[in-house]
Structures are given as structure tokens and as C-alpha cells.
Chains A and B, each alone.
Chain A
């Protein structure tokens, strides 16, 4: 199984050197990979029916992060969807993007995505799950932005990445909190300690973080806006990532973890609310769209909402309905997207109001679209009818608020039916405009995959036995529902559910014939755009930009004096906070030595030099005066028997003055850079800082000296390090490591100066 997951990554890697050869007429050969994987997972079915297959591969065992894979019924459904729809999309792409310059790159991203998605649904380890989760977001980013010369594509890709990336972080946090509770990253372990999780005080945090991950990935309200934007991607990508697989990752996560959280009110009611709101809101939105992909995008969001809603109901019937609807939706939605791509490819428009009568020129596509629309509408004998049946059954007879749930579901389904017919039927009926007379369905590589998926919608409806025991039953076991009397069939007799289905179909068809697509409605909708979550998200983004520009301009303004001012003020605040309340300087004046004549003299010289520095009119004089202060300090060191310090201070002061003179020599004469107000402010800050350091020094003096360290050094300097100069022994031996790092820092500083001064940028490299 490890190889099955990694094969996508290996293929993507191999496409870098060999892609040039394959992107010609042989690109269809690449669909062998998903096909082989599809067959691989297909032949695992008998084993999975007997029980889940667990495969362990060590990765970072010290941290509990392992490439463990678990193939149970739930994973299997997803794996078959990923590889099956993947095969169709690969074949389709080989013609759809024929001759594109970056076809090899496109297939590379697709392979990468497929590998990541397989890893996601097979992972048994939360951290590995997170890694694959992020990889799907990243490959999705590249695929949405595939037409990277189009600014709108780039923007959509960025929005999708930031929203799903945010969710990814939530997932990582959730994994860490769960590890804190169960002491394991294993999902199986977690599902087994369900009661421990639900009693833990961090349970609410875990649930909210999981919601953050699932709702962003599966485009639930209010994070749904990235999905319609992601339709900027080439159609195969929309088919594969944004309807059939990637957006289902959030659904997968909710399904996978539902046994651990079921029974918790927070879990059920939140999912019920969010899923319900999403399905109704997004279905309502489809009424106002006339771009085919836009209609399909909103209906996908709505379908995802239905799935979340069903998981929220959480009963056995609801889970069954969810699993079946998952398959139903993947099949018909992929068909509709592929069909849209063919129309777009031939007619160069996706606007429903412009398309009609296409059945006369592209019959196979029309058949596919019609079958998909049937399944979407839930008209017997399609697979969609079984799905819709189960959904009504679940909401009507089990779960919370049966009346509200059912009404919401019926209204959603009516609008979805309208959307499906708009996309799958409207372009093909009516008269054929003359400008479309010469259109063709194109290569079989386009319409055969479409038709295969469409036929499946019908075949499974007629023979539900194909999937009931092989796929659905093991998946129910994986969700913790044992011994469920599973009976998938079309005809259940006359009952309320059938009446509801008939009502839905009747209302939907009525809506379809009454409501004609028009530009006015979309424009009306656009008026509300500024209150949408997308506008809010974009507003947050531009606000962040504005704030960071302002902040950078304020803090990094390029004036050395301002940097120093900020550093000093911050240091003052920090030291002041530290000293506040626990500062009790006690100075024992009797202990202090008397001032000698020399000390008084030097103090006078220093004060004089400082006053001179502040008030002088020339830079050079100021630097020289600063040098006088430094030398006076050296003398003080000499008096207090610190010859080492005195020597170093002397040399450093000399070099500093030389450096200043070198720089100032070339600068213009003294100019009044600052007005008097600024100078007063600087003076206050300087006095404050000096005063604070003085207070600090007094505080240090009043504390009893802890001299163990210095005693140890002076006692052992000769014994251990054979040196009599304690200062130097500390520098080169006791604290030699510090010195080593310090001289390294010195070297870096010198290299920095050298680089800055010698840097001679060519004019085109210079930042403007």
C-alpha cells in the first residue's frame, strides 16, 4: 500500500526528466497509473469485506509519527473514487489540453494530487494525515493557478490556498491536542478511547479544530467562497479536485472521526446547523447563475452541505444515506463537469443563456448530460433516486427536528434539480443556433469517459447489488455500525418518502420550465456581494496589507536615530517593569570610600566633555569629546585596579574615534537635522535611560553579592587552567565557548560591513 500511495509522487518526479517525451501524443499512456491503482484497490474488496487491512511503516517512531495505512470500507470507497474518476480525468485531459506547453507539468500536479489524496484517505496516523492534507491543498493551488498568466486565476489560487491552509493548521492543532489526550497519533487508538475524549476538558477545542479543518476543505458556509473561485482552473481540475475528491476530504475526516464524537451534542448540532445552512444557501445561489461551471460549483457546495448535514444527524440511516449520496454525487457531478468542459472546448462559451440545441451536433455528450441530470434529480431508475430515497428516509424517521430537516432537504433538492437540469439538459434542447452548426463532440477521448461515468449513474441504479455488499456494507462497519440490515433497492412501495420524492421532482421541473436564465438576476445578486464572506475575507486581507505597510513604515523607517530611540524606550519599559515594586536600594554611605582628588577631577572632565558633546556645533568636535569621556573612563578603571578593562577600553575608544572621523570626514558640515523639539525629546529619553541604568546599578550594589562563581574562578584558575590572570583564563578556558561564538559574531559583522560597502549593484538590480 505504501507503494500505491507513493506511486503518484514517483510519477510526478519522473515527469520532470521524461515529461517532454510524454506530453506529445503519448500522454494518454499516463492514465495507466490511475487505472492500475483502481484495479489494485478493486481486487482488495474481498479482503476488506473480511476486515480492515492495516499496514505499518516506521517513519519517526520516536515521535509516534508513522506511515501507517489502514484500508477499511470507508477508505476503500474514497480510494476507488479517487482512482476511478482519476482514470477518466487523465484520459480526458490528454485530449482536452492537447498540445499545451505545460501539459507535462499539469500531469505532474495531477499525479502529485492523486498520491496525496490516496495518502489522506489511507493514513492511520494523524500527523501523516495532516501532511497529505496539506499536500492536496498545495497541489490544488498549482492546479487552480495553472493559467498563471491570468491574474484572476492567481488570485483564486491564493484564496483557495489560504482558506484550506488555515484549515490544515487547525487539523495539525487538533492532532496535537488529541495526542495530548490519548497519548497517540493513531486514529484507531483515538476511536477506541471515545469516552475518554468526550469527558476530557479539551474536547470542545478538539471538535472546533476538526470543524475548522473540515469546513474549510469541504467549502462549508462561511468558508464556501473559495470553491466557486477555484473554477478558474481548467475543467479537468474542477472535475477531479473540486467536485469528486479533494473537497470530499473534509467529509472523509468527519466520517472517519464520527465514531469518536457521536453522542456529543456539540458535534451533532453544529454539523446539522452548518451543513443545513450551507446546502440551502448554496442551492439558492445556483438560481442566480448562468455560467455552467458557476452553477455546478454552487451545487457542489450545496451537495457537500447535504453530506455534512447527514453526518450531523448521525443515525445509522443517515450515515448510510451519506455514503450512498457520496457516490451518487461523485458520479453525476463529475459527468456534468466533463460535459461542461466539452461544450466549453467546442463552443468557447459556458453561458447557459447562449447555449441551446447542441444535441443535434454532439449526441453522446447530450446523452451523458441527460443521464447525469436524471441522477441529480433523483428520477427513477437512476442511482440518484436511491440516494434521495435514503436521505428522506433518514431525515423523516430518525434524527433531530424531522420536520425542519425534511423541509430544508426538499427545498434544497428542488433547487439542485433545477441546477442539474440547467447544466445537463438546457444546452441540448431547443433550436440549434446557426453559429453552432459546425460544432463537433470532439475526440472519443473526451466523450467516452464522460459517457462511462454517466452510464454508471444508471447502471448502479438498476443494479444496486453491485455496490451494496462490496462497498457500502464494509464502509458502515468502518463507521462502527455493525449488522445493519442493508437493502438497497429502487422500489420501496407507496409511502411518505415516495411522495416527497415526487413532490421534489414536480416542483423542480416546474421551476426549470418557469425560470429562464437571464443576466438581470445575476446582476441583482452582485449587489449583495459586498456583504458576502468572500468580501469579508478579502477585506481582512487588504487590512492586513495596509496594517503591515503602516507598521513597517513606522518601525523600519530607515533612520538610525529612530531605531535607537525605539530600542532605548523598549529597554526602559522592560527594566522599569522589572524594577517596579521590588526595587529597594539601600546604600550604606559609611561603607563607601571617600572621593579622592583624582576621581573628582576625572568626573569633572567627563561632565565637561559630555556638555561639550551635546552643545557643540561640529561633528568632529563631538566625536573627539566622546573620546575624552572614554579615556576618562579608562582612568577610572585603572584607579579601581581593572587594568584589563582599561587597556581594552582604551584601544576600543581609539578605534571608535578613528572610525567616526573616517565616516564624518566625508559628510557635509554640521546641519541642523533636528529641530529643538526633537532634541528636547531625545534629551529626556537619554536622561531617563541614564537615570534608569544608575538606579539599576545602585540596586545591584544594595543586593548582597553572590560571589561563589568568582571565588570558584579565582581559586581554580591556576589549578585547572594553569593561568594566573583570572580574566583571561575565563575568556579562553572556562568560558571559551562564549569567546568562540563572540569572535564568530565579529567576523559576521565585518563581512556585513564589507558586503554593504563594496556592494555595487547594477542599475537594473537596484530596488526602485
Chain B
């Protein structure tokens, strides 16, 4: 099977967590001689090729980061420029990756994705959701490999089924909500660790202010 993969991420490929996820997915998908081509919407020069690939192939996967509860604006722009297919059996599948750990954060987007393929004359082939991906580009190689291993496995699954089966996608997406115990731990310790971690990253990046600064405070309830 040949699979067209489109990255809907806005970050350039070298800095993109979605690109890392795609690479891991490709590894599992290509194990048995399957092939892929990948197009990155962050690079507008690739849009024509991505459009041609969408038009001339029947297996399409779009991977992207969750932006404001749905697909990123550039991905919406790209998709709205496609001509809906007629009498095709094109299957359209999706991978959503987000920063928060719970799968419930991506369900609103998933609901939209279930409607989207029909708008483009395609069939829906499932959505894979994975949270807690914010640190993917910041961890060491060993931890990154550990975080990406499930995507390699999902590549194998997709190669076999040509879709993401619901029960597999649901198991992959866990936790749906953070367990009570984890919430208690977060409130007691986790939030302090998280604050310290973010402060250290900011310092390394050259942040001179406070992460909770309010640069437009004077505008609050005060129209020009």
C-alpha cells in the first residue's frame, strides 16, 4: 500500500513534534514493503505537490497538532482549496497530537474530523489521538524513542487494516481523563515541578520577564 501523509503542523519540519510522530509512524508502516510520501504544509512550496498527491491517491493520513480545539488554520486553508473527489474510494485518516495529557481534550476536534472526509468526497478512516506530546522535542533521545514507540506500532496497525480501528484508537488515546489520584498528585506536587520546568526552559531560551507577565494589563476593560 502507498500512503500519502500530510503534516498540518505550522512549525518548520526540523522543529515539529508532528514531524517526529510521522517519522515514527512511517517506520512501522513501511516494515512490510509499504511506501509513503510526506508533505509539510508549513512549507507553502509543498502545497501543490500535497494537492496533487491528495487528488491521485486513495490512502491519505493527515497528522497535526491540536490548535484551538480543532485543526490549525493553515490546514483548514489547504483543505478548503481541494476539489471534492467524485466516485472515489479515498480513505482519509487523522492523527491529532496535543500538549495536555487527556484524550478528552481532542474529542471536539475528532467530532469535526468525522464530518470532514464526506465534504471532500472521501471516506473516514479513523482518528488517532495522543496527548502529553509537548515535551517531545525537549527530551533526550532515549525518552523520545520511548514516547514515539506507540506510533511505530500504530504504523504497523494501519499497514494491516488501512484504517485506525476504533477500539485500537481508544486504547491508544488513554487516559481519556486524568485519574483522581493523578489530579491530587498534580495539585500537590506536579504543578510546582511543571512551573519549575517551564521556568528553567524559559531562562535557557533567554526570557527576561516573568512567565505570568501581563503586557496589556492597561487595556483590561478599557477600550481605546
Tell me whether A and B are bound partners.
no
Q: Which residues of A contact B (CB under 8 A)?
A: none
